[in-house]
C-alpha cells in the first residue's frame, strides 16, 4: 500500500492551514495513496509570543470544525488520514497535543494525546500543554496495524516497544522536530533505531520552516530509509509492504528474544 507523507510549513492562521491540508488530501488520493500522514502542529504554528491562554482559546474538541472538515475530505476522497490538532482540556490554559486516525468513511477511529512533553533543550511544552496518560492501542489501517506516537515520544524506546508488543506493524509519528546542534542527526538515528529494534515501518511526517528541520522520513523494518523529504514542502510517497515486517521479524526476532524477566525496568 502507498502512504503519502506531507511536509509543510504551517502558518499561524488555522483556516489557511486547513485549506492547504484539504488540498494535500485531494492530491494524495489522486496519486492512489491509501493513507495521508501529516506532521505535528499542522493546525497552526505557535510562536514564542503566543500565551497559553491564547493557545487554549484556539484549541478545539475532536468534534470541532478542524477535525470534522478533515474527516469530510477523507470521506469525499476515500482516503485515510493521520494528523494532529490542539485539543481542549479541562485544565485551565492548557491543551492536549492530540493525533487522530480517520478512516476512508470519515470516521475518527483512534486518538492519542501526547504523553512526553518537550521539556528539554530550552523548551517547555508543559507551560502551554498538558500531557496524555495513555498509550493508544494499535489500530487497523490500510498500511497494517498502526501505533501512534508524537515527536518527542520517539526518544523514549519503551513506548515504541510497547506498541510493537501490542501488535503494531507501523509506527506513525507526526512531528515538529526543532532545529539545533546535532538535531537532524538525532532525528535520523532515532527513527531508524525505532524501526530496527521493533522490526516495523516508521512513518514520521515533520514540519519544515519556522524553527523546524523537515527531513520527513519513512523507514523500513530493516532500517532502510525509503523516503527523506529533506527541506522540501509538499508530498512524498512510499510503499508499505507488510511482508517485509513478517520477514524481518522472522530473521531478526528481537521481540521474541527479549528477556523481560531479567530487566530491572
Beta pairing partners, 191 = none
Sequence-separated (6 or more) residues with CB below 8 Å from residue 237 = 2, 3, 4, 5, 31, 33, 227
Instruction: Return the C-alpha cell found at 77.
Output: 476522497
Nearest to 70 by CA among 85, 87, 88: 85
User: In whole angstroms, what is the distance from residue 84 CA to residue 91 CA?
Assistant: 19
SS3 at position 137: coil
Asked if 218 and 202 count as a contact pair (C-beta separation under 8 A), the reply is yes
* Cβ partners under 8 Å of residue 95, min gap 6: 55, 56, 59, 86, 87, 88, 89, 128, 129, 130
6 phi and psi angles, rounded to 5 deg? -100, 125
Reduced to 3 states (helix: H, G, I; strand: E, B; else coil), residue 182 is coil
Which helix (H) or strand (E) is 55 found in, with range? helix 52-58
Strand partners, 144: 141
Q: Which of 198, 200, 216 is nearest to 254 (CA)?
A: 198
The residues annotated with a catalytic role in the active site are 40, 114, 151
Amino acid at each position: 500500500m502507498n502512504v503519502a507523507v506531507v511536509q509543510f510549513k504551517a502558518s499561524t492562521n488555522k483556516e489557511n492551514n486547513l485549506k492547504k491540508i484539504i488540498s494535500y488530501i485531494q492530491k494524495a488520493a489522486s496519486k492512489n495513496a491509501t493513507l495521508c500522514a501529516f506532521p505535528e502542529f499542522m493546525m497552526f504554528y505557535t510562536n514564542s509570543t503566543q500565551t497559553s491562554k491564547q493557545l487554549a482559546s484556539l484549541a478545539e474538541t475532536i468534534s470541532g470544525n478542524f477535525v470534522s472538515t478533515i474527516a469530510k475530505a477523507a470521506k469525499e476522497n476515500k482516503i485515510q488520514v493521520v494528523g494532529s490538532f490542539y485539543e481542549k482540556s479541562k485544565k485551565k490554559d492548557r491543551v492536549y497535543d492530540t493525533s487522530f486516525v480517520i478512516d476512508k468513511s470519515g470516521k475518527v477511529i483512534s486518538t492519542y494525546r501526547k504523553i512526553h512533553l518537550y521539556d528539554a533543550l530550552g523548551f517547555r511544552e508543559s507551560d502551554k500543554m498538558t500531557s496524555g496518560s495513555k498509550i493508544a492501542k494499535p489500530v487497523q489501517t490500510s498500511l497494517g496495524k498502526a501505533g501512534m506516537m508524537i515527536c518527542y515520544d520517539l526518544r523514549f524506546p519503551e513506548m515504541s516497544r510497547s506498541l510493537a508488543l501490542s501488535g503494531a506493524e507501523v509506527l506513525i509519528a507526526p512531528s515538529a522536530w526543532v532545529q539545533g546542534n546535532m538535531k537532524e542527526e538525532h532525528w535520523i538515528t532515532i527513527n531508524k533505531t525505532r524501526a530496527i529494534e521493533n522490526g516495523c515501518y516508521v512513518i514520521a511526517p515533520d514540519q519544515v520552516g519556522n524553527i523546524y528541520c523537515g527531513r520527513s522520513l519513512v523507514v523500513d523494518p530493516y532500517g532502510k530509509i525509503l523516503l527523506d523529504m529533506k527541506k522540501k514542502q509538499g508530498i512524498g510517497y512510499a510503499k508499505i509492504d507488510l511482508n517485509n515486517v513478517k520477514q524481518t521479524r522472522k530473521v531478526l526476532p528481537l521481540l521474541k528474544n527479549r528477556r523481560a524477566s531479567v530487566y530491572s525496568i
